[in-house]
Amino acid sequence: MGTGKKRIDNMMRSVMEFVREHHKDDIEKAYTFFWDEDDPTEFLRGTALQLGFTNFEDWLVIDYKAKKNNETFLDIFRKCTDTLTDDDLSIIEQIKESVLSLYEVISVSKDKKMRVRDLLLGEEHDLRDKILSKGLKKGDIFAARLLLIDGSQVMSGSVYPFSARFKKKVLELFDRQFERYRKNVDPDGTMKAFLKNYGDLFNIIWVKCIVESSHGKA
């Protein structure tokens, strides 16, 4: 079956190929919405731009409502593919239930295992990701999608790195939008439900922080 990370990446790649083949017009519509009708190449460069495209595809496959009945492309792929194994279906279900959230690094051990705190859902997790841990240290914050596969927490390909100095600002923006959600959409809505329905907010805030940093603002 391979590692959890590889299985997730393979499934995401398969769904994205399906979307490109059968729902090309929807990609453009979703892309315009995700970037708020802006051109990301005007304010993102290099690695940040590559991350932006990865983050878009992650959101497009998992969270974007492709149909009026709130079906996602992950739902549509599962319904239209009759060759899926039990392991495939299990991975799809794990991906489907996941949400993007905001994490703070509590510690990084010598073997590259990180302890992270979910700043929005109040949980703590151990995460082993050699690529991610290379550039992170205690106190850093990032948004990501964590999935529990075979008893271990692994990440999808999506990640939004934030400067630690933006922690207070990012949390204030999320609290404000969550309260608006509770007031206007669902008075009993949970933070997890909010994150599931408004995952694109991470991109909006991430870009906002990048633009402010480029202009020398705190």
pLDDT in tens, 10-40: 999 999 999 999 999 899 999 999 998 889 9
User: Higher pLDDT residue, 3 or 190?
Assistant: 190
All domains in the chain, ordered by first residue: 4-97 (no CATH), 100-214 (2.40.50)
- Per-residue pLDDT at 1: 45
Length of the chain: 218
- Per-residue pLDDT at 110: 76
pLDDT average, residue stretch 166-184? 95
Confidence class for position 56, pLDDT limits 50, 70, 90: very high
| pLDDT tens digits, one per residue of 81-137 | 999 999 999 999 999 999 999 999 999 887 778 899 999 999 999 887 666 666 788
**Could you please report the per-residue DSSP string of 24-58?**
HHHHHHHHHHHTTT--GGGT--HHHHHHHHHHHHH
Q: Identify the DSSP state of 112.
A: S
Residue of 19, 159, 144 lying closest to 75 (CA atoms)? 19
| pLDDT of 178 higher than 70 | yes
Q: How far apart, in whole angstroms, are the C-alpha atoms of residue 211 and residue 142?
A: 17
- Per-residue pLDDT at 155: 85
